[in-house]
Amino acid sequence: MSMKAMTAAELAEIVINQKDLFILDVRNEDAFKDWQIEGKNVEILNIPYFDLLEGVESVLPRIPADKPVIVVCAKEGSSKFVAEQLVEAANRDVYYLEGGMKTWSEHVEPVKIGDLYDGGELYQFVRIGKGCLSYMVVSGGEAIVIDPMRLTNVYTDFLKQKNAVLKYAVDTHLHADHISGGRILAEKTGAAYYIPEDDAAEVTFSYKPLNNNDVLQAGKTEVAVQALYSPGHTIGSTSLIVDNRYLLTGDILFIDSIGRPDLAGKAEDWVGDLRESLYVTYQALNDDLLVLPAHFSKKEEMDDRGRVMEKLRVLYKENAGLQVEDEEIFRKMVTENLPLQPNAYEEIRQTNMGRVQPEPEEQTEMEIGPNRCAVS
């Protein structure tokens, strides 16, 4: 019996494939309540590290014998100590999360959404520990990446696997919950970087404006990515329709909620735009479109293949944010009693404008925790 390391990739495979796992999280209670690992068949218990310094015997009756056990902490050290004690006390294999929750926050898993009508494929990149989603269209040796995260090696490695070159990097809006990789990815690959012009008023770098009804094409197979102006989360927020089948909604519409309009301090100004996008612009679309958001918040939003998506018509029946007919009630819902704002959201906005350039370690710390881009 021994202590073994489990990588973030191995843990993600367990979560996505809905395998059994028992997690002992030894972070403090506040950190645990704010953000934790979730999965359909994941059982989790929080006992702070300092409560286990004198021994782990008290926790043994609460650990199931029929599930793999992993201990997690913020950066790895505490979990290794506790895992060692469990191995000795329980005479069983025990894992610790390599790199801790810090590494879990940065792991990105590519998941295939489906094949496109005229050839090519659409992939969803799931940052499972943060709840961030980005996308890549690959067709005819060319690719378009949408809402890429700062972990750009994930995309360049995937492009190599697919023998594709990046043609366009696109941000649907100016992000406030995570640092965009769009501009850096474009610089690395020679791709063009697009962002909505209304969100780029204060940026310090060159870009191509993403305008309503723009069409971006990858390869020779007529795979069109059509821009659809849909403000509300930000003034420039723009959705993308891919292959006339998929609606990439950015942070305007999620599977279980809707986008919040307050992260630039303009909730009262933008709430009307948000309602217009959700209740008019989207309602005019084909309701068989599959919604692909830029975030998810609950494990239940994943299907059995690890994808986060749902038909638009289903969301109009089941998403509470789309059920509010009274405009004044809607206004109160999205401007009052909002959840906490994302960690370091203003610093992240400034970084995405190019106005500050934090060091890599600082970027990691800025992004720790859940995304919090939804109203609820």
Known active-site residue 373? no
Residues β-bridged to residue 114? 122
- Tell me the residue type at 183: R
For 159-162, the CB contacts below 8 A with 24+ separation are 159/189, 162/138
Q: Who's near 329: CB < 8 A, 6+ residues apart? A: none
Q: How far apart are CA 57 and CA 167, in angstroms?
A: 57
Q: Are 241 and 294 in contact (CB under 8 A)?
A: no
Catalytic one among 47, 70, 73, 137? Answer: 73
Q: What is the sign of the dihedral through the CA atoms of 330, 336, 338 and 342?
A: positive
Residues β-bridged to residue 94? 3
Q: What is the sign of the dihedral through the CA atoms of 154, 104, 302 and 315?
A: negative
Cβ-based neighbour number of residue 40 at 10 Å: 14
Q: Are 293 and 253 in contact (CB under 8 A)?
A: yes
- Strand pairing of 223-229 and 215-218? antiparallel
Which residue numbers are catalytic? 73
